Amino acid sequence: MHKKLLAGIAAGFIASVGFAAPASAISASTADLYVLHAIPNTPVDVWVDGAVLLEDFAPGTLTPALDLAAGDYEVVITAPNDPITSPVIGPATFTLAANTSYTVVAHLDAGGAPTATAFVNDLSTIPAGQGKLTVRHTAAAPAVDILANGTAAFTNLTNPNEVKADLPVGTISAAVALTGTTAPVIGPANVDIQEGVNTIVYAWGSAADGNLALAVQTIGGLHSNPDGVNSGQAGLVADPDPALIAWSVAGMIVLLTAAAFTVTRIRAARAHR
């Protein structure tokens, strides 16, 4: 199984440029699994069920989707070439349910200690003319508030939690500030919302060490209209709903990812037990 998983990852990286598979490709008996390395300055080996799955995995890297049989998987993360008995994180058991998409993130907790969190990716249908924005706080950093027109509209987003919402396709504005303040630390910025796409943004790194960074994952094919725009295509510009701007910090972060990196989801080879 492990050789097939490794082959699937390698094939996925080769095929990943410019292509995004629809979320509907998940089968009724398997789960999608992505792995994001979000611990700064720490290349790692990722072990799954006692074998190295990802070797010398670099910080800021997101794997393509792996289509895995539903069930339990034991994950251990070590420094490169270290034995499984000397983990940086783990062992931790992650249960993958069928017909579900997950992203497992190795990251720092709010206090700066290494940890891992499994997020369930929202594959629910997005209404026609809208896109979904999700922001996940996986950084060693304090809580943040989402600002709309200079006022806190959503408060106290903490590690390792997320906020998300469906937003109309178009251009919106948002900013983020440390909880309890109104001075933006990022933004305000104009953001494009893409139709039928769940854009997932991760804030990672350490505020104290000055190495906060961003990662972006996109999952398309979530249109309610089968004739909707394919994943990765921008929809028509529409006037945003002011009530929804309050939820748009993830989109604002998307605009700034030219300084970070963008990853595109692809379908990797199916893994068999």
Q: Measuring CA to CA, which residue among 176, 170, 169 is closest to residue 247?
A: 176
Q: Rounded distance, CA 36 to CA 217, Å?
A: 10
Per-residue pLDDT tens listing for the chain (273 residues): 443 343 333 333 322 322 344 554 567 889 999 999 999 999 999 999 999 999 999 999 999 998 999 999 999 999 999 999 999 999 999 999 999 999 999 999 999 999 999 999 999 999 999 998 888 899 898 997 766 557 676 788 899 999 888 877 776 666 667 888 887 766 675 556 789 988 887 888 888 898 877 788 889 899 875 544 333 322 222 233 333 333 333 333 333 332 233 233 323 333 333
Q: Has this prediction a pTM greater than 0.75?
A: no
Question: Hey, is 266 helix, strand or coil?
Answer: coil
CB half-sphere exposure, 114, CA atoms < 13 A: 20
- The pair phi, psi for residue 25, each rounded to 5°, is -70, -15
Return the structure tokens found at 201. Answer: 């943004």
